[in-house]
Structure 1
Amino acid sequence: MDSMIPQRANTTWDIDKIITRSLDIPVNSLRKITDIVRSVEFPKGHLLFRGGKVEHDMYFLAKGIAHAYYYHEANKVTLCFNSEGDALISLKSYIQHQPGYEHIELLEPCKLYHLKTASLYELYNSDIHIANWGRKLAELELIKAEEQLMSKLFKTASERYQELIQKQPSLLQRVPLGTIASYLGISQVTLSRIRAEVR
């Protein structure tokens, strides 16, 4: 779930590996979660979440890449990228049961693990290990959002680009440059110049 860890592109993650990535839990508790998970596949361009809507689902990426974005003055502004092993979740819906801000769109054909948050909350009430796992999941997502905010506030576009390719090196082969430019808050022309300077 933490995109800060460099990841191998195009490898399929199994659900046990994804769940225990955020917190190791007993096998019995792990099986309770995997029992409510179903495997799904969606095509490139599929919109998993829509901003302004309460989301009752969450997903984990087994294979593929997605991005979260919002609209500003009719422009699509990318907030973050998610790849294999990451959670796809609307935190505001997950924590407060309120409409989320972000749209989440798949940038490749994706294999995902899907679960209903209501089913997960039932497990939180009956298994302390799962409740602790759910708390840790939310904490790591909040830390990731905070780090992204701090990066956008205090780093230059060039620094953010270098940070991005260090943490998620496969993005350049998998994501259109225009989408990466949107994430960095710059034009595609400026991105091309930064890439030339970095080389």
Structure 2
Amino acid sequence: MKQVEISRNSFLLREGMVCNNLYFLEKGCLRGYYNLDGKEVTYWFGFENNFITSFYSFISRKPCVENIQILEDSTLWGISFEALNQLFDIHNDLERLVRIINEQYYIRLEERLMAMQFKTARERYEQLMETSPHILQRISLGQIASYLGISQETLSRIRSQA
């Protein structure tokens, strides 16, 4: 793995690029977002001790449709697709670790889908505060609102009633 230092407001990945690396976030914060009709739609945040990549692009070897933006000066450790597969050939137990990472990603993805489909905006906000209470100190309210699928005004109303 190679250490990568990236400064705030930089991009780890931009839409249209093929994601060649799987990263472990040692320090910092970042977000994944899509551009939809000129609007940024945030769909995940990454914090310390998370694995970060565009899973679709990394696995399929196709261009990604998302952007990964660095929100704080960050330290990541990256391994290329090719190097990871070479390690799989040598160390079969490493495949198990990556399978577990993929399973955790899938669980988070399904939990997010269920929350967006079946929970109210208030319930989504409360769940976010329960699982990531530090988020208000690290992420802008506009990006949090986008992640929750609500306007910044609605988020302000929910917060004032909490």
Which band: TM-score by shorter chain? over 0.9
Can you give the 5+ residue segments of structure 2 that lack an aligned partner in the other structure?
none
Aligned equivalents of 2:106 and 2:91: distance in 1? 23
Instruction: Select which of 71, 88, 96 maps to 1:107.
Output: 71
Q: Please give the secondary structure, in 1, of the residue aligned with 2:49.
A: coil
Amino acid at match of 2:130: Q
Instruction: Select which of 134, 141, 147 maps to 2:105.
Output: 141
Provide, for residues 41-94 of structure 1, a one-character-per-residue CA deviation record: whole Å limited to 9, x for no partner.
111111111223211112111111111100111100000111000011111122
Instruction: Select which of 52, 55, 60 maps to 2:19.
Output: 55
Aligned equivalents of 1:38 and 1:53: distance in 2? 20
Contact 1:55–1:90 (CA under 8 A) maintained in structure 2: yes
Which residue is equivalent to 2:52?
Answer: 88
Normalised by the length of structure 1, the TM-score is 0.78
Amino acid at match of 1:58: L
Instruction: Select which of 79, 82, 105 maps to 1:118.
Output: 82
Q: Return the offset for 1:106.
A: 0.9
Can you give the 5+ residue segments of structure 1 that lack an aligned partner in the other structure?
1-36
Amino acid at match of 1:116: S
Aligned equivalents of 1:92 and 1:99: distance in 2? 9
Instruction: Select which of 117, 127, 132 maps to 1:168.
Output: 132
Aligned equivalents of 2:79 and 2:155: distance in 1? 37
RMSD over equivalenced CA pairs, Å: 1.1
Q: Which consecutive aligned stretches of 4+ in structure 1 deviate over 4 angstroms post-superposition?
A: none
Aligned equivalents of 2:4 and 2:60: distance in 1? 26
Greater strand fraction, Structure 1 or Structure 2:
2
Amino acid at match of 2:12: L
Which residue is equivalent to 1:183?
Answer: 147
